[in-house]
Every structure is written in C-alpha cells, then in structure tokens.
Amino acid sequence: MRVITEKVGDETITVYIGRGALKELSLEGKKVVIYGSGLTNDVRNYLHGLQPNTLLEIDDGERSKNLQTVLSIIDKLIELNLSRRDTLIAVGGGTVTDVVGFIASIYKRGINLTNVPTTLLGMVDASLGGKNGIDYRGIKNLIGTFYQPKLVLEDLRFLDSLEQKNFRQGLAEVIKYGITLNKRLYDYLSNNSERILQRDEEAVEEIIASSVESKLQIVSSDERERIGIRSVLNFGHTVGHVIESLSGFSIHHGMAVAVGMVCEAEISEELGIGEEGVVEDTEWILSLFGLPLTASELNIKGDPNEISLLLSMDKKGYGDKISLPLPVRIGSWKRVEVEKSWLEKAIFQCLT
C-alpha cells in the first residue's frame, strides 16, 4: 500500500493507493456512501466494507453532472438529517466525484468528504485537488467550487471490472503529467507500455502513485489557480472541452483530452514555445496506448461559431485573451496568453 500525504491550504490530504485500500477508512459520525450506477455487482459488494449508514445510488456519466442530480441528493441528505461532522463518501468515476464534491461543498456550507475513485481517470486526476463541478447549458463544469476531500482511497480492486477503453481514457491524464511535469513518468510509460496495458499491478500502482504525486504537488502550490501554476493541469483541456461540448458530451473526457494535447502541442510549436519534436513526442506516447490523435478519429468537426462561443465561456479567459499551459519539451511547460480570436482559428484548423 502506498500512502501519499500533501498539505493543501489548511488541510492535510491523505491518499492510500493499493489493493484493499478501502480498509483504511476510519471515520467518526454517519457515513453516507453515494455511488455511481455503472458499478458492477461484484464491485458494489466492496461498499459494505465501508460500513455505511446509508447507501445512495446516482446515475453516472457526464449527463448526470447537472443540477437535478445535485438537488435530488440534497433532498435525501435533509431527510437523513446529516450534520457537518458526518461524511459523504463518493464512490465512482470522475463524474460521481465531481457531483458529490460539489454537493459536499454546498450542503450546510461544507460537510466532510472522502473520495473513492473507481476509474483510472478518477484515481489519477478527478478525485484529487478539490475541483468539482457540474455542466450547465452545454458548458462543461460551469458551476462548481474548490473543496478538498481529506481522504482519498484508491482501491485497485475497482480497476478489475473496468473496460480496456475506459482504462485507456484514464491513461490520457497520466500522459498529461508525463508530458508537462514528469519526465521520469513519461520514460516509465514509454518503457512499460505492454505491462501497463496488461494491467500489471506493480506498473499500474507506479503510474498512479507518480500521477498523484505530480498532481498534489501542483495543487499544494496553487490550490485555487491564482498564481498560474495549477493551470498546467489544463494542458489539452481547452481544446478537449471544446471537443466534448461539440459532441454533446458523447465523447469521453479522456479521448477529447488526448486529441486536445496534440492540438495544443501543435499550437506550442507554432508559437515557438514548444521545442521541435514536442508534437512528435506527444503523438508517439498517445499512440503507444491506442489513444486518438485527430478529430476525425473521434468523428468530430470544428464549427467556428461554436468554438468562439465555447471559448468565450472558458474559465481561463479574460477580456480578449485566454491563458494556455503549453509544453516546451517533455517534463517542462510554460503558461502563455494568446488572443482568443487567434486561438479560435488555430482550434478550428486543428479540428478540421
């Protein structure tokens, strides 16, 4: 079992990673487990190990990240008369931890939160760092808060039931850390792709732990994305969110981010920020794990008006500018500000 702790703001966040990590739960007060409907029956059985007072099922997937889901859960929490000393335990993929994290932050102005991610993407990214959110009017994560789970239990047993496609989607975010922040991780991915794709437990634990460390180090130095450091975690996401929105959220986040990273690496080279080869290195590692490189592989086509509208709602924008984290070379990145109008054209070109 690996244990990673990091101080974020006033909180110390503890993450357990390993087979059987659920047994590390020790909490006082009532425990309400909110889990995603996509969990298979074998996996649901693990939830009893958490000894919950109440188990609540919610729909999962991007379409459940909405206000109706939030309000229906809050109605249940009121019925249960939960106090701020009680705990919500979110069990599911990134969509579940995003919705439950948001609920935990607003119910009685904040109730304890534990995350139990059940997808690779959840383990390496969505369950960590305190960002949560729901989609609104077709805009990804338009409504949300920053709210830290004090405890994150990453039980590798959950990955057993994960489809290979879903596993690969999570690898997109692992690759993101490798390209921008962690050359050691990039090299490990390059040298161990077969083992990782075959889910060799030691290799999978290694890439998860390495990703968790990279993410928490960034979050601890810039929890609320105020000084620009945290923006690195958005690499591939500006274009990725456009792709998700253009598809009406039918394209999975990880797939959209994979293509987004290629586009943004191209933008980096075009602006003279990225050194020659950064696009090739990005494409090579993504293809090693069977991830898409182009919009046509996702059956998506850019629409200039939609791109313009989506960029105008992007949280990283202000005035005519938008800030982008761009790779310089493997393991190194830079934040740049670009004109929105220029970026619209660059994204359109990339998605055509």
Please pick, among 6, 206, 225, 266, the residue that the annotation labels catalytic: 225
Minimal distance, residue 332 CB to ligand NAD, in Å: 22
Identify whether 195 is a catalytic site residue: no
Identify whether 215 is a catalytic site residue: yes
Q: Which is nearer to ligand NAD, 95 or 112 (CB)?
A: 95
Identify whether 230 is a catalytic site residue: yes
Identify whether 301 is a catalytic site residue: no
**Amino acid identity, position 238:** T
Instruction: Give the C-alpha separation, 122 to 125, whole Å.
Output: 5
Identify whether 237 is a catalytic site residue: yes
Identify whether 299 is a catalytic site residue: no
Minimal distance, residue 165 CB to ligand NAD, in Å: 9
> Tokens at residue 342, please?
């220029």
Please pick, among 168, 176, 230, 340, the residue that the annotation labels catalytic: 230
Q: Transcribe 203-257 into DSSP letters.
A: HHHHHHHHHHHHHHHHHHH-TTS-SSSGGGGGTTHHHHHHHHHHTTT-S-HHHHH
**Amino acid identity, position 70:** V
Minimal distance, residue 87 CB to ligand NAD, in Å: 19
Task: Provide the binding-site residues for ligand NAD, judged by CB under 6 A.
Answer: 36, 38-40, 43, 60-62, 65, 92-96, 98, 118-119, 121-122, 125-126, 129, 131-132, 158, 161-162, 166, 169, 253-254
Q: CA–CA distance from 254 to each of 19, 21, 119, 124, 185 (Å)?
A: 24, 25, 11, 12, 18
Instruction: Give the C-alpha separation, 127 to 15, whole Å.
Output: 10
Q: CA–CA distance from 130 to each of 26, 35, 94, 118, 331 (Å)?
A: 21, 18, 12, 17, 24
Identify whether 81 is a catalytic site residue: no
Q: Which is nearer to ligand NAD, 279 or 333 (CB)?
A: 333
Q: Which is nearer to ligand NAD, 62 or 206 (CB)?
A: 62
Catalytic residues: 109, 131, 173, 215, 225, 230, 234, 237, 241, 253
